[in-house]
Structure 1
Amino acid sequence: MADQHLSVPSPHDGTRPPWYARTATTVGRPAVLTATLIMSMPGEYKVARLAGWSDPWAYGMPFALSAYAGIAAVVAATRPKGARGRLSAQLGATFAIILALAAQVVAHLVQTEHMNGNQAWLIAITSMVPPAVLAHLLHLAATPTPVTAPSTSVDTPVVERVDAPADPATAAVPPMPQQAPAIEPTPAPAPVVYRDPRCVIVRPLYADGTRPGTGAMRDALLAAGHGRVGDSTIRGTIRAEIEEHEPHLALLPPALHGRTA
């Protein structure tokens, strides 16, 4: 495929307007906008006064008409074709221009005594302007604006892929099926080595989840052939060493069948 090149005009190829033209456009637009707003305000204020508004409320008419025309024009220009609210914004912008033009014409006709400003139809139409503007602006605000995803398409040169002939000696070996990782067995805890061998006889008495009493430990020692062992040795030496190695055993509830704790 042939390479595609985008032609970007150079700022020095003579197609760009001169600096003074660009400056006049940049500075002139806000200047003209400000001048037209200032020139339109007296006529719109005059019409509001004719309709019965007193100061300072009559000054709201120029701001309402100017802001309404600007908002409707921006919404009509920024919403894509077929989007909800675009037609309504276009009609609103047209209506705002007609209102602004009519306000200027009526104000100057009345001021030059070519028209009587004290007419019922003129007062009625002018009185409906603020609520109509408010209702339409709320309608435009409630209409969702469609969000268009930016285009990510670019002219990318197409590179043809040429597959080299496969070499049997270096052909890719199909991957082996993935095997589950081997689970290493948990190492068993190291056996406890007691200083007193008689602890081995008493330790099984904790197997039922209770702390054996002195009598039960004495009976186990007698049955194992250790003779009669004193209570202080059973509790203070043998049981103490067992619970020293395994402190959680000391927290077990006492055995109910033990004769003494």
Structure 2
Amino acid sequence: MLTTALTAVSFWLSFEALHDLASAHRLQGERAWAWPATVDTFIGVGELLILRASLMRRVDPWAIALTAAGSLGSIALNVAGVGVSHDPLDYVTAAVPPVAALLAFGVLMRQVHEFLLSRQSVLTAPPVPSGPPVTPVSETVTPEEPEAPEEPQEAAEAPEDEPELTEEPEPVTEPKKPRQELTQREQIDLVVRSLYDALGNQRPATRHMVAALRDAGLPCSDGTAREARKRVETAEPHLKSFPDAIAA
């Protein structure tokens, strides 16, 4: 909310200064108010394209060029509107609004980026199992002992040859299947779940979860940590009754 307000105020101050500059150079009425958009709009368009490129995991040189051109042009024109002044603070005051607009809008786009990534991970990730996967134990079948062959009855004229005994092969048992590796989302949930025990039956704060995920080499944004805590407490509702741990 504060980031949005700062962005709006910064752009308004920059527009106001550019409007005064346009009014002093033969532009009046609607044209004087529309002219600043030809400069400051490049900042918004460029940063939106940068957000789009980051979601697609690539770099867009055109987006960077548009953002740089809009911000540098806005700063230069705001400073030029001061004219000749012996007080350096006049130039600083004129340059602050376009710089603040660039930074505030960048922070806002960063928050939108993290929110969209957290929503995408929730929609695409598989459901979290309530316990570790159980691998079935293969049953070993013991072979029955072969019955002793009956002795051939003596023939009246000539004895028959005794049949040769062949050993039966031992049954082959299938080896146990190895434990399946956990997905990244399951690893995140296990790290967050272990914090409830490590903190002495207390609900971990966002800072605790982010630090633990960073130490485990897993994604550690604030949104990822909160979504993992929500999934863990959905699987084990009694964890919600634990007191909140103080983030140190």
Shorter-chain TM-score range: 0.3 to 0.5
The structure with the largest alpha-carbon Rg is: 1
Q: By percentage of residues, which structure has more helix?
A: 2
What's the TM-score once normalised by structure 1's chain length? 0.33
